[in-house]
Amino acid sequence: MKLLEEIFDKGYATKDLKLAKGKIKAVVKNLSAEEQLEIEDKLSTYKDKSNAFVLHQYSLQILEKTVLSVNGNSFSSPKDTREYLGKLPTPIVDTLIKEQNKFEKEIAKAINPELVDKTFFEKDLTPEDSEQ
């Protein structure tokens, strides 16, 4: 329910992540449709690159748009985020993208018409409910 409220209030939801037994703490947000399109457009220019290169670029581009902070370091732009993430070891970046993807799946699961209606709109009262 918190996810839906954040999305409707702020336009996105956030999640606190703890990686490497709590040594790395990050805050991520969900990816917007426009951000996804920007990433896909940029990836379309990598026609002559290896699949591994494209996959790593995709992961970094998602993270640069969705990571809000790491270990108390907040980022003012995707460029700042990218520079910080680019200096991290690959396994940490891989773990961050895996956790961010799990978060996107949580949101997708939470955003279904029935749950949205149940959370944000009152159910129409039946005559029986009115009498009670």
Q: How far apart are CA 120 and CA 27, in angstroms?
A: 26
DSSP annotation string for 10-77? HSS-EEEEEETTTTEEEEEEPPPHHHHHHHHHHHTT-TTS-HHHHHHHHHHHHHHHHEEEETTEE-SS
* Percent share of the chain, pLDDT over 70: 84
Residue 132: per-residue pLDDT: 44
Q: How far apart are CA 46 and CA 48, in angstroms?
A: 6
Lowest mean pLDDT among 42-56, 63-77, 101-115: 101-115
Residue 132 vs residue 16, higher pLDDT: 16
Using the 8-state DSSP alphabet, how is residue 88 labeled?
S
pTM for the predicted model, two decimal places: 0.79
Residue 94: per-residue pLDDT: 95
